[in-house]
Amino acid sequence: MIIPNKSMNHYFLLFMFTLLSILSTCDENAENFTLGEEFIESQTDINLIDTFSVVLSTVILDKVETSGTENMLVGNYEDNLLGEIYCDSYFQIGTANSIDIEYGDSYDSLYLVLKYNGYFLGDTSQSQKISVYQLAENIVTEADEVLTNQSTFSYNPNPIGAVIFNPQTISDEDNVLIKIDDNIGLDLFSKINEESEIITNNELFIDYFHGLVLKADETNQKLVVGFNASKDDVKLVLCTTRFGEYGDEEIRNEFTMGDSTKQFNHISYDLSSTLLKPLVEQRYELPTTNTNGRAFLQAGIGLLIRVDFPSLSNILMFQQGTIVKAELTVLSSNIDNKDRELNSSLLLYKSDKINRVQTSIASASKITTGESYEEEITYTFDITDYLKDELDDLYFAPEESGLLITLSSNTLGSTLERLIIDNKSPKTKLKIYYLTY
Amino acid sequence: MKNKQATAIIILFWLLIITNRSLAQVKNSIYSMYGIGQVIENNYGINRAMGGTGIAFQSGNSINTLNPASYLGVSPNSFTIETGIYGIYNRASDGNITQTNGDINISYFLADLYINKWWAISFGILPVSSVDYQINSSDQVNGELTTYEKTYTGSGGISQGYIGQSFKLLKGLTLGINTAYYIGDLIQTETGGGDNSYTEYELENKKNINGLHFNYGLQYSMEKTDWLYTLGLIYGSNKTLNTVNDLSFTNTDTTISLEQNDQANIQIPRNFGLGISMKKGNDFRIGLDYQWKNWAQSNFNTSNFVTKNSNRLSVGMEYSPNTRESKPFGQISYRLGANYQNSYLAVNNVRINSFGVNCGIGIPMKRNNSLNFTIEYGEEGTLKKGLIKYSYWAFYLHFSLHEFWSSQNR
């Protein structure tokens, strides 16, 4: 019988433990293992397929939500491709927070105060006459609590004030003052002096005053500008004078814009002399074959671009493979978009058969390539997940799998941004990276 | 059990069963990519310390699995159980690039039971082959000048659970039969994408293998002038294992099974081995083994390599000086060995050969148990024709537990 040796056991355990620790740290650089590449037979391949056609068409929205966008669009613009566009901004005026008028004070004037927000489209070297009209009825939202570019309310055809406005001569901090007809001012002043309930009750005040609409002179069709549509920046100011022993004091009573969701931009247009004349109803898109190979995205009016892949169902005939990447690229039409600032990103939504916007699919950022005199602007959407989903059931119905290119809803409702896509260029395409195994 | 070491062995054994790990004995070798993977030859017990030699050795305090006729070497009325841990530090090079890996694993479990003077039984779990590699590569998109990452990996291996018996036929002549159940998965994957450019995908080829295999052994010993001479023979028949070949493709969390045209069944080839040994008392023994496997008959249905008949030659010796006086160490065994083999693979028409040299030490512990430690240096492959050469250091630690059936026998 051999006598064991305890220290020997401990020595071995220690040795094994050390060995274990050394060996378990040896495997850290596994990502660098490249030896043996030449002995491998690859069974998978990624193939680029860019032959599936991309068919674009232009869709007109039946209406574009334009309420509560915080941007009042005022002006008229004659677009070289889309005809005339008229923007009027409607808003409510509510009661004043406080009224400071005493017996003996005298009426001076009534002003509408606006604040230019820097947005413009067109020729800012020209002055523009903006007139104020008083509404003849209350602004009432539609069934879905919104107001759209198509909404309209009647107003008194005689302007109650006007201003000649030139965006070049005004800094962003300056207010635009529009003198309002004294008849309106005096009537308001007398309601205050009578201590009428109208002055303190917002509902009664709205029923009394209704609201205002700003319209630009239709003879100028070269400029649309934007004003802030917030309570702090839109107000009706009643100026009065209080006579005192130490001099006269001027008092300002401010009636601010009421409910901001009742502010909206009415945008009318006339496509009858353009390529887009056939566009009447949202459900009927206009293919680019009818519009010189161009598809139109236009905010305000609500022109969106529909994308179809009519031949994509052929991909289902491929054996043993799958999409590992799919990219839709659209090329801006350089000539048409000249002098236009293009939006930095576009959104892509699923469409239904009748061109209603469904779920969000992707977004794309503006990519500018090339030299300035021949630069190219493209937007590329990653639609991998969308196409994989659509093809997952081994069925693809092109008419039910359309997409819509659009702008954010706020941009659609409060700007006149435009983007024209070239559907003839091979750079507007669908790239599918198809893995075969 | 009274024995702490026995408890440790049993725990290791159950860990092995529960974790269901393949008995990997290979670390990141591209040669494990072919066929059934890297064949694990004679990696067990004290045989390893002697170059994997043992066809003509008896089992003793540690179990010799190389010849099923050897199990009767266990002491009367006793049993032995044994398990091993193995570690490897591997260096691979193609002449330009060098990469290193390490791993540590449980490698096997064995038992040898004395039934009576003409019958002993052994059973255990042993590795048969092992697949382990990772190759990071890249590929180009067809139709565009872009490349993407691809990774090829291999894992798994075949293990065997066996039960074997040795019978004494005549004085000096024993016969052994092993019944082994081979089971395992050989998994090869190809993955790509996933680096924010393409959706990640994985193509997995999994061969699930199982089947029974028999092998036989004979040992004949004769004593002459203090020396015991033993001749050993082993033979295993050709056997086609049941192979289920599954090809599956995974992409965005969906896995689909694919038709697999190549349904070749994995074959274990006919094999033959011859060994001779000389032994003097319990102090010294030396042996020489030769093994041949008829791999050339096995067809793996692929074009990237050719199978050849494998040969293995090994020599080993053990010296256990009987110096009871030097008590702190007891009767320590010192072992030396070497082996050379032509593997069954020829890649690019180049035979993948290997050699190893070993030395080891066996340290007696409480209750006739022993702790055996082996260190090995080996090389495999060649730099010829763009192939890869591996050099490795391996470490083996084996615990043998020896226990008598009843206490009065002690």
Q: What is the pLDDT of residue A19?
A: 55
pLDDT band at A437 (very low <50, low <70, confident <90, very high): confident
Q: Which of A94-98, A264-268, B75-79, B364-368 has the lowest mean pLDDT?
A: B364-368
Burial of A317 (0-12, 13-18, 19+ CB in 10 A): exposed
For chain B, the domains span: 4-409
- List C-alpha distances in Å: A101 to A108, A209, B119: 12, 19, 122
Distance between CA atoms of B91 and B100, rounded to whole angstroms? 4
pLDDT band at B20 (very low <50, low <70, confident <90, very high): very low
- Closest Cα of chain A to B280: distance in Å? 21
Say yes or no for a CB contact (<8 Å) between A16 and B363.
no
pLDDT in tens, A171-213: 766 789 999 999 999 999 999 998 889 998 999 999 999 999 9
Contact A294, A176 (CB under 8 A): no
Q: What is the pLDDT of residue A46?
A: 92
Residue A278 predicted with pLDDT over 90: yes
pLDDT band at A431 (very low <50, low <70, confident <90, very high): very high
Q: What is the mean pLDDT of chain A?
A: 88
Our CA dihedral for A122, A127, A128, A132, rounded to 10 degrees, sits at 140
Mean per-residue pLDDT, A429-434: 95
Mean per-residue pLDDT, B337-360: 92
For chain A, the domains span: 48-62+281-436, 71-269
Q: What is the pLDDT of residue A237?
A: 94
Distance between CA atoms of A153 and A88, rounded to whole angstroms? 11
> Under CATH, which number does the domain B4-409 receive?
2.40.160.60
Q: What is the mean pLDDT of chain B?
A: 85
pLDDT in tens, B188-243: 999 998 777 888 999 999 999 999 999 999 999 999 988 999 999 999 999 999 98
pLDDT in tens, B304-313: 788 899 999 9
- Closest Cα of chain B to A7: distance in Å? 9
Q: Among residues 224-263 of chain B, which lie with CB inside 8 Å of chain A?
A: 249, 251-252, 258
Considering only residues B281 and B288, tell me which one the structure prediction assigns the higher pLDDT.
B288
Q: Among residues 52-81 of chain B, which lie with CB inside 8 Å of chain A?
A: none
Distance between CA atoms of A39 and B154, rounded to whole angstroms? 13
Residue B24 predicted with pLDDT over 90: no
Q: What is the pLDDT of residue A358?
A: 94
What is the C-alpha R_g of chain A?
Answer: 32
Contact of A9 with chain B, judged by CB distance below 8 Å, is answered with: yes
Contact of A324 with chain B, judged by CB distance below 8 Å, is answered with: yes
What are the φ and ψ backbone dihedral angles of B19, each rounded to 5 degrees?
-75, -15
Classify A396 as helix, strand or coil. coil
Contact A272, A108 (CB under 8 A): no
* Nearest by Cα to A77 from A268, A332, A296: A268
Contact of A319 with chain B, judged by CB distance below 8 Å, is answered with: no
Q: Which of A113-122, A395-404, B47-56, B251-260 has the lowest mean pLDDT?
A: B251-260
Q: Which ipTM value was assigned to this complex?
A: 0.78
Kindly state the helix (H) or strand (E) to which residue B242 belongs, with its residue range.
strand B242-251
Contact of B383 with chain A, judged by CB distance below 8 Å, is answered with: no
pLDDT band at B263 (very low <50, low <70, confident <90, very high): low
Say yes or no for a CB contact (<8 Å) between A325 and B199.
yes
What is the C-alpha R_g of chain B?
Answer: 23
Mean per-residue pLDDT, A236-244: 91
Q: What is the pLDDT of residue A98?
A: 84
Q: Which residues of B308-321 are buried (b: 16+ CB within 10 A; e: fewer)?
A: bbbebbbbbbbebe
Residue of A26, A323, A385, A389 for testing the chain B interface, max B β-carbons within 10 Å:
A26
Contact A255, A95 (CB under 8 A): yes
Q: What is the pLDDT of residue B40?
A: 84
Residue B410 predicted with pLDDT over 50: no
Q: What is the pLDDT of residue A5?
A: 46
Distance between CA atoms of B52 and B140, rounded to whole angstroms? 46
The length of chain B in residues reads 410
Considering only residues B262 and A177, tell me which one the structure prediction assigns the higher pLDDT.
A177
Say yes or no for a CB contact (<8 Å) between B136 and A45.
no
Contact of A48 with chain B, judged by CB distance below 8 Å, is answered with: yes
Q: What is the pLDDT of residue B8?
A: 60
The token pair that represents A275 in the structure block: 């390529």
Say yes or no for a CB contact (<8 Å) between A36 and B142.
no
Q: What is the pLDDT of residue A43?
A: 87
Long-range contacts (CB closer than 8 Å, 24 or more residues apart) made by B173-176? B173/B218, B173/B219, B173/B220, B174/B69, B174/B70, B174/B72, B174/B218, B174/B219, B175/B69, B175/B216, B175/B217, B175/B218, B176/B67, B176/B68, B176/B69, B176/B70, B176/B71, B176/B216, B176/B217, B176/B218, B176/B219
Helices (H), A248-327: none
pLDDT band at A10 (very low <50, low <70, confident <90, very high): low
Say yes or no for a CB contact (<8 Å) between A23 and B104.
yes
Considering only residues B364 and A363, tell me which one the structure prediction assigns the higher pLDDT.
A363
Q: What is the pLDDT of residue A28?
A: 46
Say yes or no for a CB contact (<8 Å) between B30 and A36.
yes
Q: What is the pLDDT of residue A378?
A: 95
